Structure 1
Amino acid sequence: MIMSLPEEDLTCPVCCDIFTDPVLLSCSHSFCRGCLKRCWDSGLRECPVCRKRASKSSPPCNLALKNVCEALLQVRRQSSVEEEMMNCNLHGEKLKLFCLVDKQPICVVCQSSKLHKTHDCSPIEEAVLDCKDELTISLKILQDKLDSLKHIQRNSEDMFGYIKSQVLSTQRIIKDQFEQLHQILYEEESARLAAVKKEEEEKTARTKERIKDISAEVQSLRETISIIQEQLKENDMVLLKTFKDTQDRCRSIAFGSNSMSGLLIDVTKHLSNLKYTVLEKMLAHVDITSVTLDPNTAHPCLILSDDLTSLHYSKQPSHCPDNPERFHMSAEVVAMTALGSGSHRWVVETGRNQDWLLGVVSLSVRRNVEISARPEYGFWTLCFRDGAFRAMTSPPTTLTLSTTPKQIKVQLEYNKGTVSFFDNVNDTLIYTFKHTFTETLFPYFYTQSSHPLRIMPEKVLFTMLRQ
C-alpha cells in the first residue's frame, strides 16, 4: 500500500525530500517541521506554497503522513540491507550457491576460486530448506534435553525435603535404640548423631552443587534455543550466513552427567547392626543380622521397619525421590550387603506372607524397567505364590514340598557358583541354582503382601581372651 502512493505525495515542497516530522497547515499543505521553521524565520508566517497566512500557534503534526513516510523509509532501508545481503562481499556478485563444506553462501566466482573449487555446493533455495530442517532437528533435541534437565532439577530440589525427613527418621531411630542401651551408650549415641548431621551437610552440599550445575546447563540451553529461534525468524540469507556459527555453538554445548546416584543419606551406614557395634561396651549378648535392607533401593509401596530387617507391602505408596538406586516397577528391595566372594547365609521368616520372592540379584540389574526374575536377567530366586513354590528358572520349576516352610534359609556359595534354599526348621534343601558368578550380588526381596517378611537375627557370643 505504501509503495502504491506517488513519491511526490510524500515529498516536502521545500527540501524536495521525504517528509521528516511533517506538520499540517490550515490550508492543508504539509511541510517538514524544520523546513517550515527555516522559511518562517527568514520571512512572513505564511504557507510557502499558497502564501496563505498561518496562525500564530504551532502547526500540528501530520501523524498519518508521518507514519506513511517512516514506513516508506523503513522499506527502503530494509530493501537496501537485503540487496546488500544478497551480494558477495568479495566479488559483488549475487549469492546463488551454498558451500556444503564451509556452511556459507557463495557466488559463482567464489565457487571457481581455490577456496571452494573442490567443495560441494547446492543452490540457495535447496540450502535454505536443508538448513531449516537441520536447525529444527537441533532445536527439538535441545528442547528435549532441556525438558530432561528440568525434570532432574525438580527431582534434585525434591531431594532436599526427603534428605531432611531421612535425617529426622534416622535420628529418631538412633535415639530409640540408644535409650534401650541406657546411659552408658550416651557418648556413642552423640557420635552417631553427629555423623548423620555431617553426612546431611555433605549430601546437601553435593545436591546444591549438582543443582547449580544443572541450572547453568539449563541457562546455556535456553540461550542457545533462543538464538536458534531468532535465527529461524530471520530472512533466509541472514540464517545462512549465521548457520555455521549457530551449529558450532550447538555442538560446543557440553552436558554434564545426569546421574543423581549417591546423593541420599546412607541410612544403612548409620543404622545397620547398630546394637552390635557397641557390644564391646555392653559385654553382653545382642542380636545381629548379617543382612540389612537398603531403604534407598526400596519401591515406594514397600514399608521397612525402623531397624531395616523387615518389609511389607502397602497400597499407599510413600513419597520418595526418583533416585537411580530405587526399584520403580515392582515391590522390590535389596540389602546393603554386597556379596562378591565366599560363603553367605541368612534366614527370612515368611510367616503368613503368601506372595514373596527371595534370593540374590546382580548389581547390574536395571531398576527402572519391569524384568522377569530369571537367571538370564540376573535373578536367582525362590517364589511362593498362589500356594505353590517355584524355582524361578526359565521356565519356572514347580516344587513339591510336604510342608510349607515358615523360615527360608538362603545360602550363597559365590566361589562354588551355587544359591541354595532350605527349610530352616529342619534344614531340608528346597532347591539349588548353579551358575558361574562374575558380578557382585545383593540379597533380594519381593512381596505384595501386607504380612511382613523378616530377616531373622543371629545370636553372637562374646568371649574374653586372657593372656
Structure 2
Amino acid sequence: MEVYKDPVMLPCCHSFCKACLYDWWRENVTRQCPVCRRCSSMTDPPSNLVLKNLCDTFSQQLNRPSLPEAICPHHKEKVQLFCLDHQQPVCLVCRDSRAHHEHKFRPINEMAQYYREQLQKSLLPLQDRLRISSDVIHHWYQTSEYIKQEGDRTEKRFQEEINKMRDFLQKEEQERVQAVRTEVQQKVSLMEQHVAALSEEMETLSNTIKQTQEELKASDATFLQTYSGAVRRVQQAPLKVIPQIASGTLVDVAKHLGNLSFNIWNQMKDLVSYTPVVLDPNTANRSLFVSNNVRR
C-alpha cells in the first residue's frame, strides 16, 4: 500500500519489501510467495535494483521542496535566459551587458527541457545495464535453484546404483556364507560319526582287556578253566586299522576363497555396463531430454 522499501525479488518474479516479506515468513510455516504461494528455498532473496531505483526517484520527487526562483548574483534579477557561449543562466540585464556582448541566448525553460532530454538519454545505457544486471541476478537465482535440484537428482540416482550393487553383494555374501556353513555342518557331522564308531570300539577293547586281566589274577586251577574262553575272546576282539583323516575331510578353503574378488566381479558384469560415450545434460539442446543414466 506504500512505496517499496528495500524491495527484494522471489523466483516467481514477485517483489516485496524485505521487512514485509520476512514478517510474512515468520507468520507461516514455509517460505511462500504471499501472492502465488510458490515455495522458495532461499533465505535471503536478491534485491530488485530496478524497482529500488524507481522507488527512490519517486520518493525524491515527492519529498522535493519547492525551490525559490533563481536570481542573478550580479543584478539581483530573475534569470530568464541561458547564455550559449558561457553555458550559464543569465538575466535580461546580463544580456545587454558587455560581458555577454554578441552572445547567443535561449529561453531558460527551453534549454532546461533540452538538457533534461539529453541527460535522460545519457541515462538510458545505465538503465539498460541495470535492467540486464537485474535479469542476470534473477537468472542466476533460478540457476542456483536448478543446481540444487540437479544435485538432489544426481545423488538419488547415485544411491540407486550403489544400492543395486550393495543388494547384489549382500545376496552373494549370504549365499557364500551359507555354502561354507553347510559344508562345515556336513563334515563336522561326519567326524562325529567317526568319533562315535571309534569310541564304541575302544569301549569293547577296554572291557575285553579288563576281563582278561581279572582272569590272569585268578588261581592256577581257575585260570586254566577259563583260559580257552579268554583266548577266544581276545582273538575275537576287533583290531581294525585306526582310520586316518581322509582327503576332503577339511573345509575346501581354496574353493571358497580362491579368486573370490574376481569371481564376484565376474558375476557382476551382468549387473553393470560400460558406455564409451556419455551424454552431458548441461550442454544438450533444450529440446532434448537425457536419460537418468546419461546414455541416451
TM-score interval for Structure 1 and Structure 2 normalised by the shorter chain: 0.3 to 0.5
Question: TM-score, normalised to structure 2's length?
Answer: 0.33
Larger Rg: 2
What is the TM-score of this pair, normalised by structure 1? 0.22
Higher strand proportion (structure 1 or 2): 1
Q: Which is helix-richer, 1 or 2?
A: 2
